[in-house]
Amino acid sequence: MDNVLEVKNLTMNFGGIKALDRVSLEIKKNQIVALIGPNGAGKTTLFNCLTGIYTPNAGDIMVQPPQGKARRINGMKINHITELGLARTFQNIRLFGGMTVLENVMIGRHCRTRAGIAGAIFRPNSTRTEENDIVDQSYSILEYIGLTMYVNDLARNLPYGAQRRLEIARALACDPQILLLDEPAAGMNPQETGELEQLIVRLWRERHLSVLLIEHDMKLVMNLAQNIFVLDYGEEIARGTPQEITQNPAVIKAYLGVETNAEIN
Amino acid sequence: MNYFWDLFLGGITRGSIYALIALGYTMVYGILELINFAHGEIYMIGAFTALIVASVLTMHGLTGVAVLILATIVAVFYAAAYGFSVEKIAYKPLRQAPRLSPLISAIGMSIFLQNYVLLAQTSDFLPFPNLLQDVLLPEAISGWIAPSEFIIIFTAAVLMIGLTLILKFTKMGKAMRAVAQDREMAMLLGINVNRIISRTFIIGSALAAIGGVLIASHVGRINFYIGFGAGIKAFTAAVLGGIGSIPGAMLGGLVLGLTESFATGYISSDYENVFAFALLILILIFKPEGILGRSSQQKV
Amino acid sequence: MKLAEEFKKSFFVALWFMLLTFPIMVVQVNTIENVVIWRWHNIILSGLGSFLLSFCWQLFLRRKGHSTPAAQASASRLQHLMAEPRLYRPALIILALFALIFPFVFSHYQVNIMTTALIYVMLGLGLNIEVGLAGLLDLGYVAFYAVGAYSYALLNYHFGLGFWTALPVGALLAAFSGILVGFPVLRLRGDYLAIVTLAFAEIIRLVLENWNAFSFGPSGISNIPRPGFFGMALTPEQSAIYMYFLLIVLCLLTIFVIRRLQYSRIGRAWVALREDELACQAMGIDKTKAKLTAFALGATWAGMAGVLFAAKTTFINPASFTFLESAMILAIVVLGGMGSIPGVIIAALALILLPEYLRVFSDYRMILFGAALIMMMIFRPQGILADMRKKYEFHKMKDSRIN
Ligand SMILES: Nc1ncnc2c1ncn2[C@@H]1O[C@H](COP(=O)(O)OP(=O)(O)OP(=O)(O)O)[C@@H](O)[C@H]1O
Ligand SMILES: [Mg+2]
């Protein structure tokens, strides 16, 4: 399978509400894909299904890990999915507020390291090296993202934009092959959004990541995405390249009256 | 068969009391998502106030149903006042705090109130006058059920029906349900959320106080520690029925009361509390949403 | 202007509290002689007390409302001072010297009290793993303490097991029961977990109380031997001193282990779990495993403390393992500062020693605990000494420091 992620006919109900209705989606290796749609369309719900937070009612989610064969991840535990290479950020920032910025990133290394209780207490050489590596790698991620000035600050004391970037840094520390970003530019000013755009391009170009991006900022979406999926009321109403999407009548209709309408045209 | 019938009535009687206290837990949990650990203490304070009022009145020569009614009214007023104050002191400042903070504060409040009564009154068991005895019942009823049991079951039923009607039809009841469903949205719609929360505490506390007076005169003795056991059991009842659900609390109370009554009657009375606690654990492990509760996905 | 307003408000609060406390505090019924005692002085006390309290309350609330980063900095100034090696090194040395000569300077009685306090230091540090680090509110911690104590008492009674064998066995049994309890309940949300642990502890206590054939019921088990010292017979005084040093050593061991855990891969996972359970899982941490290890490790320490308690008092019964005991240990952790080792130590010593030396405290101990829990949550949720996160230094990238 040359897709790293394949979603087929995914359905998710909450009580009577169909938050997702037979949604299908594919992401190729090293591709930036955007997921757009009006508020309440089911975008975050899709992310929650992909990352194991919700168990979908029907459909398949297949992940192709770097080695081995494709895995169906429906119903898998959240942390196992992360180990398979899906890492995400949250729309409403969920950092570990009482931990420092560096520690937040170090948490991301957890699933790629081994030391247990005995290691922690007796601290043999192997644990010592591992711990040093965690610190070094986390620090270099912070350098990459440009957050080193905050290394030892508590995450909750960071400015808003920095918190959003720290969420990305933390996700990167999990060594993902697919990065899921839920409205990373929300609340950012144009300059910060510009920097974010460059960051995502770098991740794509230098780290060869696949990115699935939920975003309401259409300029950002159009600049970044190679492929776009549009959801409305839990259903996929369109898919295609940015050019195709801007000219799609169904999309324009779905967005009619929404201010982003202007940006699409 | 007679033994069975006695156990059954005993179970329903206990269960009605548990249900009355459980309503307070369930209403508060529905609105604040907080286990009001001090709720059992409110019930205890209600019983103590009733004891004090009843004793003073009896010593001044009053007798009969008048004592029962006056003692209940004062107890209800005081329990409601304590419930109201507890919320203002220990929970209101913690609305925005992490989840465990109000719970710890509630535990602190529970310990505080217990020891407040212990220090101001006594650690001994006090005999509680059987106020329910003075109520005369027609023979058709008193033939098959003890008067105090009948009064407890009857009062509890009336109160629960009343509460259900209030929640269903009054403006306040509707506002309460709105706040329980979505606090932010209710606030946006112009509902005074703080006032609704206060009222919830007042109603819950008043019901607990009535439960306190009824059970204290049925059992015949109280001390400062009765709130702890009753509190956990009523909480068990609330969880059993589905926390947040009013009919659930009633059902849970009855199920718990019957379980306890039959288990102590047929198995062993030494382990009375063990049965209740074991039931709580089993429910939380196997059906944490309770009998009538709905399971919901945490929104992310 | 503001002051007058607060004055007025406090006045009404005082009136309200005078009304509120009237029946319980003023009227006392003597049901045996059938007389009522009216204690009118109490209502004045209640009024004055609530007036003052309300005034301070508003003052603190206002302070808390105003201060965000600036006050936080000043609050942690004390901690920066404590982190200064030139200050804390000599302080530690003096403390160590004091601990060393303590049993030889003070009486047998004082040494015993200090030993009890040290047992609570262990309990506090153990519960701190669960509550402070991992954020698992365990209201039944005393159950594991009971498991340790009864393990030693019963194994000794039936099989003549000595203290030194019982110590690891008690710890293991407690850890095992921690896993046993933890496995089903750790899926539950935080507040449900609190209630379930409380229920478990009550079940264990009730079983100990009623299952006479197993635990000798309420009368408990006596004549539990004190720890031997290389087979030598010790007088009670010598034995007390021996226990004291044993506890000093074990407390040091506890501190060492917890310090190492706190800043390890596992310890960080616990803190992350406390901060945000869902994000923690999304970062690839196995929630169940992290919770279970925290629970089991916390229980291990309670088990050890239980064995020590049985050995120190030579007598145990279920009355030592009530919910109030759990509440007291929780108060130690909350007052000390969740996750903070020095905070928990100070709180344990203060909460155990103060009531011994100040009569006022011993009468009002529990009511003060209750009040303290509420006030701490409202005014200083981080505790007396907040948990300070470790700072990493980077000169150049590669030159990171880990001690
Ligand atoms: N846990 C849940 N329980 C019940 N309903 C839910 C839950 N999570 C989401 N929903 C509903 O599913 C629908 C889709 O919500 P979702 O958060 O996925 O939208 P979205 O596309 O991310 O919107 P936005 O752009 O506002 O973030 C909404 O109607 C929402 O109310
Ligand atoms: Mg969303």
Predicted-assembly ipTM surpassing the 0.95 threshold? no
Nearest-CA neighbor of C350 among C367, C322, C328, C374? C328
* C150 and C212, same domain (yes or no): yes
- In-domain check, residue C143: yes
Please report all neighbours of A, defined by 3+ CB atom pairs within 8 A: B, C
Of all protein residues, the one whose alpha carbon is nearest to atom 22 of ligand 1 is A44
**Alpha carbon of B144: minimum distance to chain C alpha carbons (Å):** 33
Query: In the predicted model, is pLDDT for residue C303 greater than 80?
Result: yes
Structure confidence by residue, pLDDT tens digits, C126-151: 999 999 999 999 999 999 999 999 99
Nearest-CA neighbor of C163 among C151, C145, C175? C151
- In-domain check, residue C69: no
Q: Using CA atoms, how far apart are residues A242 and A245, in angstroms rounded to an integer?
A: 5
**Ligand closest in space to the Cα of A37:** 1
Please work out whether the CB of residue A50 comes within 6 Å of at least one atom of ligand 1.
no
Lowest mean pLDDT of B282-296, C64-78, C265-279, name the range: C64-78
C380 touches chain A (CB under 8 A): no
Please work out whether the CB of residue A78 comes within 6 Å of at least one atom of ligand 1.
no
CATH, domain B2-286, list 1.10.260, 1.10.3470, 2.170.220, 1.10.472? 1.10.3470
Count of B-C CB contacts under 8 Å: 164
Residue B33: predicted pLDDT: 86
* C227 and C119, same domain (yes or no): yes
C-interface mutation test, from B35, B74, B104, most C Cβ less than 10 A away = B104
First to last CA, chain A: 35
Structure confidence by residue, pLDDT tens digits, C10-59: 899 999 999 999 998 888 888 777 788 888 988 899 999 999 998 888 88
C397 touches chain A (CB under 8 A): yes
- In-domain check, residue C403: no
How remote is the CA of residue A201 from the centroid of ligand 2, in Å?
A: 23
**Ligand closest in space to the Cα of A42:** 1
Ligand 1, atom nearest to B298 Cα:
1
How remote is the CA of residue A195 from the centroid of ligand 2, in Å?
A: 22
CA distances (Å), origin C70, targets A101, A160, C66, C347: 20, 19, 10, 26
Would you place residue C380 in the very low, low, confident or very high pLDDT band (cuts 50, 70, 90)? confident
Chain B residue with CA closest to C28: the answer is: B121
- In-domain check, residue C327: yes
Percent of chain C at pLDDT > 90 equals: 43
Residue C76: predicted pLDDT: 60
Query: In the predicted model, is pLDDT for residue C103 greater than 70?
Result: yes
Go through chain C and tell me how many residues it has: 403
Would you place residue C400 in the very low, low, confident or very high pLDDT band (cuts 50, 70, 90)? very low
Q: Using CA atoms, how far apart are residues C318 and C219, in angstroms rounded to an integer?
A: 8
Say if residues B46 and B208 touch (Cβ distance below 8 Å): yes
Residue C88: predicted pLDDT: 77
* C306 and C216, same domain (yes or no): yes
* C246 and C328, same domain (yes or no): yes
The chain-wide mean pLDDT, for chain B, equals 88
Measured between beta carbons, the chain B residues lying within 8 angstroms of A48 are 300
Of all protein residues, the one whose alpha carbon is nearest to atom 28 of ligand 1 is A40
Tokens standing for A168? Answer: 């990305």
Where do the domains of chain A lie?
1-85+176-265, 94-175
B134: burial class by Cβ within 10 Å (0-12, 13-18, 19+)? Answer: middle
* C275 and C354, same domain (yes or no): yes
Of all protein residues, the one whose alpha carbon is nearest to atom 5 of ligand 1 is A14
Q: What is the pTM of this model?
A: 0.90
Q: Using CA atoms, how far apart are residues A239 and A222, in angstroms rounded to an integer?
A: 13
Please work out whether the CB of residue A230 comes within 6 Å of at least one atom of ligand 1.
no
Count of A-C CB contacts under 8 Å: 133
Domain that holds residue C15: 2-54
Measured between beta carbons, the chain B residues lying within 8 angstroms of A44 are 300
Could B300 and A14 be called an inter-chain contact, meaning their C-beta atoms sit closer than 8 Å?
no
Ligand 1, atom nearest to A46 Cα:
18
Measured between beta carbons, the chain A residues lying within 8 angstroms of C257 are 121
Chunked mean pLDDT (size 10), chain A, 265 residues: 88 90 93 93 94 93 89 92 95 94 95 89 91 94 93 92 95 95 92 93 93 93 94 92 88 67 45
DSSP string for C256-301: HHHHHHHTSHHHHHHHHHHH-HHHHHHTT--HHHHHHHHHHHHHHH
What are the b/e assignments for C1-33, b being 16+ CB within 10 Å?
Answer: eeeeebeeebeebbebbbebbbbbbbbbbebee
First to last CA, chain C: 54
- In-domain check, residue C90: no
Half-sphere exposure of B145 (CA within 13 A, CB side): 20
Question: E-assigned strands of A82-165?
Answer: 86-88
Among partner residues A14, A44, A90, which is closest to B297 by beta-carbon distance? A14
How remote is the CA of residue A35 from the centroid of ligand 2, in Å?
A: 11
Residue A1: predicted pLDDT: 60
Chain C residue with CA closest to B102: the answer is: C377
Q: Average pLDDT of C241-263?
A: 93
C151 touches chain A (CB under 8 A): no
Please work out whether the CB of residue A55 comes within 6 Å of at least one atom of ligand 1.
no
Structure confidence by residue, pLDDT tens digits, B198-236: 999 999 999 999 999 998 888 888 989 999 989 989 999
Say if residues C170 and C147 touch (Cβ distance below 8 Å): yes
Tokens standing for A239? Answer: 């898919």
**Alpha carbon of B131: minimum distance to chain A alpha carbons (Å):** 49
Would you place residue C364 in the very low, low, confident or very high pLDDT band (cuts 50, 70, 90)? confident
Query: In the predicted model, is pLDDT for residue B73 greater than 50?
Result: yes
User: Interface of chain A against chain B, CB under 8 Å?
Assistant: 14, 44, 48, 53-54, 90
Query: In the predicted model, is pLDDT for residue C397 greater than 50?
Result: no
Where do the domains of chain B lie?
2-286
Among A17, A50, A91, say which to mutate for ligand 1: greatest number of ligand atoms within 8 Å of CB: A17
* C35 and C166, same domain (yes or no): no
DSSP string for A167-188: HHHHHHTT--SEEEEESTTTT-
Among partner residues C272, C285, C392, which is closest to A152 by beta-carbon distance? C392
Q: What domain count does chain C have?
A: 2
Query: In the predicted model, is pLDDT for residue C175 greater than 90?
Result: yes
Of all protein residues, the one whose alpha carbon is nearest to atom 16 of ligand 1 is A42
Q: Average pLDDT of C347-372?
A: 85
Among A18, A44, A237, say which to mutate for ligand 1: greatest number of ligand atoms within 8 Å of CB: A44
Nearest-CA neighbor of B80 among B204, B196, B164, B213? B204
Q: Using CA atoms, how far apart are residues C30 and B169, in angstroms rounded to an integer?
A: 46
Among A11, A13, A43, A231, say which to mutate for ligand 1: greatest number of ligand atoms within 8 Å of CB: A43
C332/C393: higher pLDDT: C332
Ligand 1, atom nearest to A54 Cα:
1
Chain B residue with CA closest to C203: the answer is: B274
Could C267 and A94 be called an inter-chain contact, meaning their C-beta atoms sit closer than 8 Å?
no
Residue C276: predicted pLDDT: 92
Structure confidence by residue, pLDDT tens digits, B163-198: 999 988 999 889 988 888 888 888 888 889 999 999
Residue A265: predicted pLDDT: 42
Could B104 and C378 be called an inter-chain contact, meaning their C-beta atoms sit closer than 8 Å?
no
Of all protein residues, the one whose alpha carbon is nearest to atom 2 of ligand 1 is B299
Please work out whether the CB of residue A48 comes within 6 Å of at least one atom of ligand 1.
no
Measured between beta carbons, the chain C residues lying within 8 angstroms of B270 are 210
Among partner residues A51, A98, A103, which is closest to C282 by beta-carbon distance? A51
Say if residues A86 and A176 touch (Cβ distance below 8 Å): yes
Neighbour tally for C151: CB within 10 Å? 24
- In-domain check, residue C306: yes
Please work out whether the CB of residue B297 comes within 6 Å of at least one atom of ligand 1.
yes
Would you place residue C208 in the very low, low, confident or very high pLDDT band (cuts 50, 70, 90)? very high
Structure confidence by residue, pLDDT tens digits, C64-96: 766 554 445 445 666 666 667 777 788 888 888
Among A14, A51, A91, A260, say which to mutate for ligand 1: greatest number of ligand atoms within 8 Å of CB: A14
CATH class of the domain whose range is A1-85+176-265: alpha beta
Could C265 and A77 be called an inter-chain contact, meaning their C-beta atoms sit closer than 8 Å?
no
